Chains A and B, each alone.
Chain A
Amino acid sequence: MRAIIFSWEYPPRVVGQLSGYISAMSTQLAQNKVEVNIVTYDDSATGQTTEPSGVKTFRVANPVRNHIGVLTWVLTLNQEIERAAADIYYESNKQVDLIDVHDWHFIPAAVTLKNGLGIPFIFSVESLEDQRSPNANASYNMAIKSIEWLGFYEAKRISVKSEWMKDEVNRIYKVPKEKITVISTDPSVWIEEILKLYGSMAEAEE
């Protein structure tokens, strides 16, 4: 199985806890015969590496340096994320089973790749704009919410880390609960649950 993981943080870039989570997850996935390709952002250390675990990383920088906000910064960076993923797709003979997108930042790239190349994606939710900025309805917050909504609409599956978050996604975005998988935080079972989720994506494609 070949998976591409989108995350805006991956070691050595650490913004919050997502970075460490994805590092641990991808190492374990590699041990379980998943070819993992991490596509992430780094301002200067761009390019491709292969880690001892076998995980491949692709770091891209923002093609536009001057920005007026997080939204424009994210939206130009998405093109480079999209380019890196398309390159993986063509260089692996068009055999990519899924994209796993963590949080809203790279939803636009995943949506284009799904519509253009037929690669299904999982929207893995760490947190939501409505929780980060409660009751904020400025056009800036609404734009981020609209990108989250697009992600829920276009994703084949949604993964969350708790029953509470499952209810939140259902409450805020009216996503059917059948579309949402809760991944346990119990270290003895979590990777099996992720493998099962990834496996269901590949099966559904056939």
Chain B
Amino acid sequence: MKDKLTVMMLSWEYPPRVIGGISPHIYFLSKHLAKQGVKVYVVTCDFPGAPAHEVIDDVEIYRIDSYKNPSPDFATWVYLMNMNMQRETAALTRKIADKIDVFHAHDWLVANAGIGLKHVFRKPLLVTMHSTELGRRDGLHSATEKMIHETEAWLTYEAWKVICCSDYMISHVKYAYGLPSDKLVMVPNGVNIYNYYVNGDFREFRSKFALPEEKIVLFVGRLVYEKGIHVLINAVPKILSKVNAKFIIVGSGYMKEQLLNIVRSMGLEHKVLFEGFMDEPTLLKLQQVADVSVVPSLFEPFGIVALEAMAARSPVVASDTGGLSEIIEHDVTGVKVYPNNPDSLAWGISKVLLDANYARYIKENAYRRVQEKYDWEKIAKQTKSIYEGVLGEYHKSFWAKAT
């Protein structure tokens, strides 16, 4: 057996191509695996201006031709892109001096490539399920949605182990694809706490958003139904009856117009600000000056936005649902409220705003919890030990002998 564990990650996005949460996930996971002595190759889609091959933090990045002819629809493009990804990854795996030990695929977007490479090279396939079609669509309503769901089921069937980021996702994925429990492993998502270390005097910055006597309530997220932003808007008058505050909404989405109308009809335009999409440095400062961060989601596989607020030392009020239920320990690292319940949400937010000692207590606990549990170094160590466990099983299999 060779001394260095070698992994080939397959992902449809990697910086500078950032579409959702998988891109930063692969970036931090790969970087910290490399620090743990794992040799990591990342194969991903190409991006204008980004080189076809580069080394970032000891991680080898290969960007493949992502199939740029017109495609009939998104799902067909995904399968055509996978055809190219397999072709180039197969050639790469054959060419490089390092022998690949494990293929690690992220979501159905690279299902075909992961499954194909597993059989061509007879190496174990690991899969991280970041989300599911069933959860994204709240059911399966069309041929496309059924096809994607079946592709996800097929991918998890072919995987040696399936990694999910919360206990909630473990039970959801187990139910969605009928998987045995011993195939599922929970590894939380991480947050880079050093990103959130911002120092300075923010009084002038704060004054752009709120009067000195106003508390700041911050919401960060897409303005879509599942994020529960409408619950927060409905809670605004209830909160204002107890404490003077300004509500800052960061993000955009299809519900924006509707929400603006509700705020206008309440006569509260001067209390609720819709900021739209915000660049990261500004958002970091806003998290520093916010008195409370609110995550009122109705569906949430993980809830990274709560972790980010915790890392920024902002006290968190979140719905008791999905991954949020596990991130927040009530009265210790945050406040949990009933999902889809404006009264409960107003109670939680007012409690944090009216009791400074309580707010300080939960935010300091939350910061420590992020350091302990959601640290990329720990996540990389956990992931490495999963690779080692799978390889231990693999080396006893007939595949190891035949190759």
Are A64 and B154 in touch, CB under 8 angstroms?
Answer: yes
| Contact indicator per residue, chain B 71-102, by CB within 8 Å of chain A (1) or not (0) | 11101100110110011101101100000000
Given known contacts A115-B87, A143-B71, A86 and B80 CB-to-CB distance under 8 angstroms:
no
Bound CA span A87–B403, Å: 11
Known contacts A75-B79, A108-B83: A69-B72 contact under CB 8 Å: yes
B82 near A63 (CB under 8 angstroms)?
Answer: no
Would you give the 0/1 interface string for B103-143, flagging 1 where the beta carbon is closer than 8 Å to chain A?
A: 00000000010011101111000000000000000000001
Interface residues of A in 61-85 (CB under 8 A from B): 63-69, 71-72, 75-76, 78-79, 82-83
Contact at B112–A116, with CB atoms within 8 Å? no
Q: How far is the CA of A71 from the CA of B82 in the complex (A)?
A: 13
Determine which of A71, A91, A109 lies in contact with B72 in the assembled complex, contact meaning CB atoms within 8 Å.
A71
**What are the residues of chain B within 8 A of A21 when measuring CB–CB?**
none
B120 adjacent to A82 (CB under 8 Å): yes
Residues of chain A within 8 A of B144, CB atoms compared = 68
Q: A71, B80: Cβ atoms under 8 Å?
A: yes
Interface residues of A in 29-71 (CB under 8 A from B): 63-69, 71
Give complex CA distance A75, B147 in Å. 12
Q: How far is the CB of B254 from chain A (nearest CB, A)?
A: 24
Query: B115 contacts which chain A residues (CB < 8 A)?
Result: 79, 83
Q: Looking at chain A's contact residues, is the secondary structure mostly helix, strand, loop, or mixed?
A: helix
User: In the complex the two chains form, is A68's CB within 8 Å of B69's CB?
Assistant: no
- Which residues of chain B come closer than 8 Å to A75, judged between CB atoms? 79-80, 82-83, 112
Inside 8 A of A108's CB, which chain B residues have their CB? 83, 86-87
A139 CB–B CB distance under 8 Å:
yes
Cβ-based interface call for A112 (8 A): yes
Select which of A69, A90, A111, A118 is within 8 A of B87 by beta carbon.
Answer: A111
Q: Which residues of B contact A67 (CB under 8 A)?
A: 143, 147
Q: How far is the CA of A91 from the CA of B117 in the complex (A)?
A: 17
Question: Is B146's beta carbon under 8 Å from chain A?
Answer: yes
Confirm or deny: B151 has a beta carbon within 8 angstroms of a beta carbon on chain A. Answer: yes
B150 at the A/B interface (Cβ < 8 Å)?
yes
Question: B residues within 8 A CB of A14?
Answer: none
| B134 nearest CB across to chain A (Å) | 14
Chain B residue numbers with a CB within 8 Å of A140 are: 72
Which chain A residues border B93 with CB–CB below 8 Å?
116
Bound form: Cα–Cα A12–B354 in Å: 77
Known: A75-B83, A143-B71. A112 touches B120 (CB 8 A): yes
User: Are A139's CB and B72's CB within 8 A?
Assistant: yes
B72:A87 contact, CB within 8 angstroms: no
A136 CB–B CB distance under 8 Å: no
In angstroms, how far is the closest chain A Cβ from the Cβ of B62?
A: 14
Shortest B381–chain A CB gap in Å is: 31
With A72-B79, A112-B86, A113-B120: A118-B71 Cβ-Cβ less than 8 Å: no
- Inter-chain contacts of A82 with B (CB < 8 A): 116, 119-120
Interface status of B356 (Cβ within 8 A of chain A): no
Inter-subunit contact A143/B402 (CB<8 Å)? no
**Interface residue? A117 (CB, 8 A):** yes
Known pairs A76-B112, A90-B402; A116 contacts B76 (CB<8 A): no
A residues engaging B (CB < 8 A)? 63-69, 71-72, 75-76, 78-79, 82-83, 86-87, 90-91, 108-109, 111-113, 115-118, 138-140, 142-143, 146-147, 150
Q: List 19 A-B contacts (CB under 8 A).
A: A63-B154, A65-B150, A68-B75, A68-B76, A71-B80, A75-B79, A83-B115, A86-B120, A87-B119, A91-B402, A108-B83, A112-B87, A115-B88, A116-B121, A117-B94, A143-B71, A143-B76, A146-B80, A150-B83
